[in-house]
Amino acid sequence: MRVKSWSSVVLALMLCGVVILAGCSGSKGSSNNGATGTDTGGKTETANPPQSTQDTLIVGRGGDSASLDPAIVTDGESLKITHQVFDSLLEYKEGTTEVQGSLAESWTVSEDGLKYTFKLRQGVKFHDGTDFNADAVVFNFTRWSDPKSEYKFEGDSFDYYDSMFGPDGKRIIKEAKAVDANTVEFTLNQPQAPFLQNLAMSSFGIASPAAIQEKKENFKNEPVGTGPFVFKEWKRNDSITLEKNPSYWREELPKLNRVIVRSIPDNSARFNALQSGEIDLMEDLSPDDLATLEGNPNLQKIERPSNNVGYVGFNLKQKPFDDVKVRQALSHAVNKQAIIEAFFAGQAIPAVNPLPPSLWGYNDSIQDYEYDLEKAKQLLAEAGYPNGLPDEYTFYAMPVPRPYMPDGKKVAEVIQADFEKIGVKVKIESPEWATYLDDAKAGEKADIFMLGWTGDNGDPDNFLYTLLDKDAIPSNNYSYYANDKLHEILIAAQKETEQSKREELYKQAQDIIKVDAPWVPLVHTTPLLAAKANVKGFVPAPTGTEYYYNVYFE
């Protein structure tokens, strides 16, 4: 290359600069009258009255899916998408956790609670055109339960199947059998009270056997179900595009032609995008933005029914937290009301029990440990620590915002200050999220930690047994809390099929947990979503996974 030609490159570059400058100023002049219209669907329409209503919904959320095969994932972000593509045999009525038929139209249960017979909906087709029938159902259940299934691909595990219907060796479902093309019969090894409730979870979406056989490993990137929307395209970390299933079995649905779900990790950026009209609906609004949202007439606030708990857990493997008096003392030292006022913008209530009050079986006769530092000191003294606890303890505060805890570190600081007043020193640590969860599970590093849970299926079992039974060590019982009496009650409740009796058992369970105080239940939050004012028909689900099929634009 010669010097001469090089300097002409620079000159050319500079010319470009001038052109771009001119271009910029030009755009600034013209764009006021709707030049950005192509981006902001809503706005164009106000500027030029539309011929037809808008039919593409753009949803903004914090993270991307991990995989699109509902059976192998456990994270909510993945299930939100698969819920649109797949139907399960049963489903929850919109906005509730009440079970209703979906791919199964009706069912009967045998007297002993061991046989469930499902009549399937007829004439339903998978998105690839193959028929949905009893064989397809059996194919899916066999795939999930048979550890040697050739359709269990390398590295996959069916975690939700294992946790709801028992791991290999302890399977609840003995057999799934096709009686005829439209009838499936399940035989259980033992009665399971929440069986129907469990079947309705989005993890048990029925996949097209033909598609799994043909796509193999790739099925998790190109899912095929019978749901209201057909999977179109997945740009990782960017967007997932779904299109209307024209032959969906629910007539006239879905109302939208297309749904695009975008990952916008930053909460403020996501809210900006909603305000500027680039997305129509956003998840996880931070409570700080609530005032702005309410001041904007073009937007609406959507509240997800509260179905979660945020808590501070004690690690019972570590001294002195194995002492119930110490745990009770610390329970008296947490000012829940002040925390809610400071960090939740009123979108939370103080938690008394591990169970949210919206769930049946909630024990409302339990009185919370009131905020009383004197009483806390007295209890510490009774435990043999009149001058406070001897050491400094590690308090894990989550590094990422969660629906039940928008800012873990700040909440931890408030608790730290109160603990200090009764002579308990803690140092706050926030390792990155994956390490945090691993450490909490191992129970080695943190003495006190913060975590939470969003209910999967509207059954108290999904909170009490899943989080606090001794069987759940070390899966979700991060406190290493084991109480044999409690275990007996929870197992009895699983086998009992009459709901009123189960309710009684769960109330007893909460009494035991209250006294043992393995956690300080902190809050039940109402997670916030926001949408453009003209988005209608969106019904938020307590489980966090809702259908978009009823959504339309006004």
Partner 1 sequence: MKSYILKRLFIMVPVLIGMTMIVFSIIHAIPGDPAETILGQKATEQSKEALREQLGLHNPWYQQYFTYIGDLLQGDLGQSIRTKVPIAEEITPYLAATAELTFAAMAFAIIFGVNAGIISAWKQNSWFDYISMLVALIGVSMPIFWLGLMEQWIFSLELQWLPSIGRMNQRDPVEAVTNLYLLDSILAGRFDQLWTVIKHLILPSVALGTIPMAVIARMTRSSMLEVMNSDYVRTAKAKGLSQFFVVYKHALKNAFIPVLTVIGLQTGALLGGAVLTETIFAWPGVGRYIYEAISSRDYPVIQSGILIIAFVFVFINLIVDLLYAAVDPRIRYR
E strand or H helix that includes residue 394: strand 392-396
| Residue with Cβ nearer partner 1 (77 or 546) | 77
* Site for partner 1 contains 25 (CB under 8 A): no
Give residue for tokens 């299933």.
245
Q: Is 129 left (phi over 0), alpha (psi -120 to 50) or beta?
A: left
Q: Minimum distance between the CB of residue 197 and partner 1, rounded to whole angstroms? A: 25
- Give the one residue of 27, 106, 108, 499 binding partner 1; rule: CB under 8 A: 27
* Site for partner 1 contains 201 (CB under 8 A): no
Q: Minimum distance between the CB of residue 71 and partner 1, rounded to whole angstroms? A: 14
| Residue with Cβ nearer partner 1 (32 or 365) | 32
What is the DSSP annotation of 165-205? H--TTS-SEEEEEEEETTEEEEEESS--TTHHHHHTSGGGP
Of residues 259 through 288, those in contact with partner 1 by CB under 8 A are: 260, 262-266, 268-270, 272-273, 275-276, 278
* Site for partner 1 contains 22 (CB under 8 A): no
Q: Minimum distance between the CB of residue 447 and partner 1, rounded to whole angstroms? A: 19
Q: Minimum distance between the CB of residue 7 and partner 1, rounded to whole angstroms? A: 6
**CA angle (184 as vertex; 181, 190 as ends), nearest 5:** 165
| Region near partner 1 per CB under 8 A, out of 7-15, 283-291, 297-305, 499-507 | 7-15
- Give the one residue of 217, 372, 413, 488 binding partner 1; rule: CB under 8 A: 217
| Residue with Cβ nearer partner 1 (443 or 460) | 443
Give residue for tokens 């033992």.
190
Q: Is 115 helix (H, G, I), strand (E, B) or coil?
A: strand
CB distance 305 to 357 below 8 Å: no
What is the DSSP annotation of 225-284? -SSSEEEEEEETTTEEEEEE-TT-SSTT----SEEEEEE---HHHHHHHHHTTS-SEES-
* Site for partner 1 contains 129 (CB under 8 A): no
CB distance 230 to 127 below 8 Å: yes
Structure tokens at 64: 């991307």
| Region near partner 1 per CB under 8 A, out of 147-155, 328-336, 369-377, 389-397 | 147-155
| Region near partner 1 per CB under 8 A, out of 34-42, 332-340, 530-538, 543-551 | 34-42
| Residue with Cβ nearer partner 1 (195 or 478) | 478
Alpha-carbon span 17 to 243, nearest angstrom: 41
* Site for partner 1 contains 66 (CB under 8 A): yes
Alpha-carbon span 241 to 60, nearest angstrom: 12
| Region near partner 1 per CB under 8 A, out of 15-23, 304-312, 388-396, 543-551 | 15-23
* Site for partner 1 contains 237 (CB under 8 A): yes
| Region near partner 1 per CB under 8 A, out of 116-124, 151-159, 445-453, 511-519 | 151-159
| Region near partner 1 per CB under 8 A, out of 4-12, 198-206, 354-362, 445-453 | 4-12
* Site for partner 1 contains 442 (CB under 8 A): yes
* Site for partner 1 contains 235 (CB under 8 A): yes
Which residues make Cβ contacts (< 8 Å) with residue 147, sequence separation at least 6? 168
| Residue with Cβ nearer partner 1 (67 or 203) | 67
Q: Minimum distance between the CB of residue 54 and partner 1, rounded to whole angstroms? A: 9
State the angle between helix axes of 484-495 and 461-468 in degrees (0 to 180), rounded to the nearest 10.
Answer: 150
DSSP 315: -
- Give the one residue of 12, 22, 26, 39 binding partner 1; rule: CB under 8 A: 39
CB distance 85 to 75 below 8 Å: no
Between the alpha carbon of residue 489 and those of residues 112, 210, 485, 499, 508, the distances in Å are: 20, 44, 6, 14, 8
| Residue with Cβ nearer partner 1 (77 or 516) | 77
- Give the one residue of 20, 22, 47, 291 binding partner 1; rule: CB under 8 A: 20
Alpha-carbon span 494 to 323, nearest angstrom: 29
Q: Minimum distance between the CB of residue 516 and partner 1, rounded to whole angstroms? A: 26
* Site for partner 1 contains 417 (CB under 8 A): no
CB neighbour class for 19 (10 Å; exposed up to 12, middle 13-18, buried from 19): exposed
**CA angle (148 as vertex; 147, 152 as ends), nearest 5:** 75
Q: How many residues form the binding site for partner 1 (CB under 8 A)?
A: 63
Give residue for tokens 């499902």.
118
Residues that bind partner 1 (CB under 8 A): 1-3, 6-7, 10-11, 13-14, 16-17, 20, 24, 27-28, 31-32, 36, 38-41, 43, 56, 58, 60, 64, 66-67, 153-155, 157, 217, 220-221, 235-239, 241, 260, 262-266, 268-270, 272-273, 275-276, 278, 432-434, 438, 441-442, 475
